Amino acid sequence: MAHISGFDRSQTLLFPEAIDDYVGADNPVRFIDAFVDGLDLAAAGFARAAPAKTGRPEYMPGDLLKLYIYGYLNRVRSSRRLEAECHRNIEVIWLLRTLKPDFKTIADFRADNRKAFRPVFRQFVVLCRKLDLFGRELLAWTARA
């Protein structure tokens, strides 16, 4: 009797042309994306919300904030683990539009914006409650973060 086997790893596969095809319409990352895109990050107190005129371009604060919100919702807090998610997790790849910040960039963003996180996370939790998007246990865990 034959067994079910996977593809040969060296075989070329034809994936859908758009990464958007891998993230469902009801996936929470779409909500995170819309929520952060609707924020005024400079008014919220995030450092470097306006790009510098010289030097190497930085990551947009909104992209890194999306990564942190995703991490908190999925209990991934370590900057090294968040970096790993950027390379292997299709939801994070979609959310960050294939950006792959390193762990130092992720950790520095948290350190530089520590005070700005609390009000934004509180606003996120309140909105989730209003829209009844997540279970109470997840909201309570996120509110403590």
Alpha carbon of residue 89 to chain centroid: 10
Tens-binned pLDDT, residue by residue, of the chain (145 aa)? 677 767 677 777 676 678 888 899 889 999 999 999 999 999 999 987 667 777 778 899 999 999 999 999 999 999 999 999 999 999 999 999 999 999 999 999 999 999 999 999 999 989 888 888 766 544 444 444 4
Residue 18 lies in a domain: no
Residue 6 lies in a domain: no
Q: In the chain, how many domains are there? A: 1
The residue type of 123 is Q
| Cβ atoms of residues 32 and 62 within 8 Å | no
- Residue 123 sits at φ, ψ, to 5 deg, of -60, -40
- Residue 112 sits at φ, ψ, to 5 deg, of -75, -20
Residue 1 lies in a domain: no
Residue 52 lies in a domain: no
Residue 4 lies in a domain: no
Domain coverage including residue 90 = 25-39+58-144
Shortest CA distance to 71 belongs to which of 104, 106, 43, 23? 106
| Cβ atoms of residues 110 and 117 within 8 Å | yes
pTM of the model: 0.80
